[in-house]
Amino acid sequence: MQSNIKLNMSRRIRRTPFTGKVESCGVSDFTVVNHMLLPKGFKNTVEEDYWHLSKHVQIWDVSCQRQVQITGPDALKLVQLMTPRSLNNMETGKCFYIPIIDENAGMINDPVLLKLDDDMFWISIADSDILLWAKGLALGSNFDVQIKEPDVYPLAVQGPKSEELMCRVFGDEIKKTKFFNFRIFDFKGTKQIVARSGYSKENGFEIYFKGFENYFDSVELGEQLWETIWNAGEDLNISPGCPNLIDRIEGGLLSYGNDFTKENNPLECNLDKYCNTNEDHNFIGKKALRKIQSEGIIQKMRGVIFDGSPCTATGKPLPILSEKKEKIGQIASGIYSPRISKNIGLSMVLKDHWEIGKNIIVDTLDGKFRKGIITTLPFPK
């Protein structure tokens, strides 16, 4: 039965400078992340989009990747207080993937941190309100900082042809941008940050499009940027797109609120390398994280491959069972992979069952139980 449910727009759900272009490209679905629209699909299927992304180039409106800007003499102190990852050796122009945890070592975000200067950082957040968390910590610690959400709207260019396309728009200097680094490029007299990064396993870039305080001026310049990229990529088979579920799962890219929440700690999310509690830097949740490291974790994020007819995107978590039919986890993100020719998913799996190659059973909630195995993240090529 076709649903007639609609999403009513209001000022609580914000449009982006690229929403008009997205609509003209035939967007079929939106979701809301950080109180802003995120395109979720166009007229093609998830599988068609997956193959296109793996072979060509796409342009994504990911403006919902909001920035928390922290500036001032104590900017580094505040950002370091928020994450167990040491920032001692972080240079200007670098991007760091950082877990942000609370006093219990629970994950409250897993953003990308950009260092614009010694006293200026952008935290490019997943879907949780880090702006208020940062303000609270700054006030409680009496830090000399200014915190705001700047007029920045990320636009991603993803796929194997992305570098060629970006060179056409910004020049060959783009090739010098290393992975998880950014450079500043000119666009129509404005300075724009371009990072080699993106929410896919393909090569790609993110333009941290800097708009204006006047939203309508931002829309005008944003649409010019979209059109410039689109026109430059037509012979490269450019397409509108969005984060692809198949690609994301295969790449082991986690989604906050889906694959993990604040009930999970970074060790469960395979982020051990960002959690060196022996270093001298202080951070919120350090005592709790040390305790977890000492006692060990009882579950860990793993990949799951399972048999049966192709599954559509998981609407409800799929229970994972041991061969004795004991529940040992659940797939929060799952779908059929045309490359692997199997169904795949991401799941926290209990300790006695997280060994790679372990046989498991997936309850697909249709009265069928499907055989599967535990696998690595990212998924095997």
pLDDT for position 232: 98
Question: Is 281 domain-assigned?
Answer: yes
pLDDT for position 212: 87
Choosing from 197, 213, 248, the residue where a domain stops is 248
Question: Is 85 domain-assigned?
Answer: yes
338's tokens: 């045309």
143-147 contacts, C-beta under 8 A, 24 or more apart: 143/72, 143/74, 143/77, 143/78, 144/72, 144/73, 144/74, 145/70, 145/71, 145/72, 145/73, 145/74, 145/75, 145/78, 146/69, 146/70, 146/71, 146/72, 147/68, 147/69, 147/70
Range of the domain at 138: 67-148
- The H or E element that residue 67 is part of is strand 67-71
- Per-residue pLDDT tens over the stretch 75-127: 999 999 999 999 999 999 999 999 999 999 999 999 999 999 999 999 999 99
Residues 94 and 137 in one domain: yes
Residues 54 and 186 in one domain: yes
Tell me what the pLDDT averaged over the chain comes to: 96
pLDDT for position 2: 47
> How far apart are alpha carbons 247 and 361 in whole angstroms?
23
Residues 187 and 38 in one domain: yes
Question: Is 164 domain-assigned?
Answer: yes
Question: Is 24 domain-assigned?
Answer: yes
- Per-residue pLDDT tens over the stretch 62-71: 999 999 999 9
Residues 369 and 294 in one domain: yes
pLDDT for position 5: 63
CA atoms within 13 A on the CB side of 348: 16
Residues 284 and 212 in one domain: no
Question: Is 175 domain-assigned?
Answer: yes
Contact between residue 84 and residue 267 where contact means Cβ atoms under 8 Å apart: no
Residues 116 and 73 in one domain: yes
CATH of the domain at 232: 3.30.1360.120
Question: Is 267 domain-assigned?
Answer: yes
Q: Name which of 312, 310, 316, 328 is nearest 373 in CA terms.
A: 328
Residues 240 and 273 in one domain: no
For tokens 């005592």, name the residue.
Answer: 287
Residues 105 and 228 in one domain: no
Question: Is 332 domain-assigned?
Answer: yes
Mark the ranges of the chain whose per-residue pLDDT is less than 50: 1-2
